[in-house]
Amino acid sequence: TGLGGEAFAWRLLEEEAVAVMPGESFGVEAGHLIRLGLTLPDDELAEAVRRIAALASRLCRARTEAATA
């Protein structure tokens, strides 16, 4: 996506209403990651994963378009 874990986590909350923990919270080496809590019912977790994938797809598409423009 081109974003670090914290920036991705904030965008995910703002654009898709999904809260995750930025990897930076668990050390510098995890700065490019996010962490998920798997405490939701399966159907809600599946929807959250769908929203995470949607944001990642949009960000990657925008990054590709910017690189080829």
What was the pLDDT predicted at 25?
Answer: 87
Q: Annotate 3-65 with DSSP letters as a single string.
A: --HHHHHHHHHHHH----EEGGGG-GGGTT-EE----S-HHHHHHHHHHHHHHHHHHHHHHHH
Average pLDDT of the residues in 48-68 = 94
Considering the entire predicted model, what is its pTM?
A: 0.88
Express each pLDDT in 15-27 by its tens digit: 999 999 999 888 9
- The mean pLDDT value of the chain amounts to 93
